[in-house]
Structure 1
């Protein structure tokens, strides 16, 4: 599994690190994304710190599990990372690993997630967890926040040649599954490295996020919730693209 990533912070022009974070552990075929919940800004807290600690601790937990050459359990990774993340704030999280039997094992809390693309079309999209419109489940310290055991656990059969696109809601709120698949597949067919493909997907999501007249998945969700949000959704955008290589 060969992976690459791209990250665009919504306030990148101001030098902000943003509120998203991610990690790639190619050695153990494991990736993860997290989106710090921006509402903490009203309390003067940078939620990106929580997300970055959570993903750093997830990488460390992945490397710990890797010895002696164990297959990674994403729930154990998330549980250990959560226990060691003590920063103020809260975050969504999605961790995905590929086992030797060509099964993706994943755990997801909130509205980050992933999709599997096969032969040019999306064959799987991970479900999301929302309390209500634009209010995702989230991990955090304190009684009002979720714990890893509340996260959804998934297993998905995959094949050589499949493409996995993981991301935060800055991706999935702005681009449809078809738009993501189209952009990713075009890049793969051109022979681009997954990092370059991730950049193209992230850039397309960013362009839509800045379009004040765009009709997006977030637009449709807002309509179903009795609201009417028109235009792209400005947000931090994280994209990881992973290609399952032929033997």
Structure 2
């Protein structure tokens, strides 16, 4: 299809788009270097330490198996559900993990699967045009993939499709991001980056640092604090947690 033959859906021109990504991870007690670019993502968290299990091993194995699964599929036609299924079946470590896999496919479509409270939002200029739901059993108890009988399985994943356009920004992250920053804070930071034409790597650094500050502040007003009150727990301040943030910019051909 030539550029002159492009289609228009709801005011969005169909064209060949690309993802430019930047990611950053901040552990509870230290910051890491930015991670490399990719168009398919998965993040994991877990609370197994009190049982003597390093849940990071499960998440790391799941991530690695997900990457290997994407390599067997055409770049612009990666099926995130197939990726999750294959990665889950090959992950044998103890522990559990939330997950979110996002890929940009032909036709201006984001395809995603997610389990738990790792999630994403799509921002167009100064507006959130989509935000993914979360899966919780109860307050601070998200669905998690794992090999234990009480863990979620891929069939319980939420399957999501979102039409995007050049210039859109995708903010994806773990609960360490979304429990410490309100949506309006995320939107304001992303909109500022769009206005200044910042790269994904620059935007992700600012977003991660912005989330880290309230995570260490016991007096901060945060989404986590408000959610705890609604659940009758009354926990003040931010949520001290690992923070994974991925910022992606949708670019035209």
TM-score (norm 1): 0.90
> Does structure 2 retain, via aligned residues, the 8 Å contact 1:10–1:237?
yes
C-alpha deviation, 1:70, in angstroms: 5.8
Q: How does 1:229-240 map to 2 (within 5 A)?
A: 229-240=235-246
2:6 is matched with none
> Does structure 1 retain, via aligned residues, the 8 Å contact 2:28–2:243?
yes
Q: How does 1:102-181 map to 2 (within 5 A)?
A: 102-181=108-187
Of the structure 1 ranges 45-54 and 107-116, higher mean CA displacement relative to structure 2 is found in: 45-54
1:4 is matched with 22
1:241 is matched with 247
Task: Extract unaligned runs of 5+ from structure 1.
Answer: none
Task: Check if 1:44 corresponds to 2:62.
Answer: no
Decide which of 72, 83, 87 is 2:78's aligned counterpart. 72
Q: Distance in 2 between matches of 1:225 and 1:232?
A: 16
2:44 is matched with 35
Aligned partner of residue 43 in structure 2, secondary structure: strand
Runs of 4+ in 1 over 6 A off after TM superposition: none
| CA displacement, residues 72-104 of structure 1 (integer Å, 9 cap, x when unaligned) | 110100111111111110000000111110111
TM-score (norm 2): 0.88
RMSD over aligned Cα atoms: 1.8
> Does structure 2 retain, via aligned residues, the 8 Å contact 1:122–1:178?
no
Task: Extract unaligned runs of 5+ from structure 2.
Answer: 1-18
Q: Rg bigger for which structure?
A: 2
Q: How does 1:52-63 map to 2 (within 5 A)?
A: 52-63=60-71
> Does structure 1 retain, via aligned residues, the 8 Å contact 2:76–2:106?
no
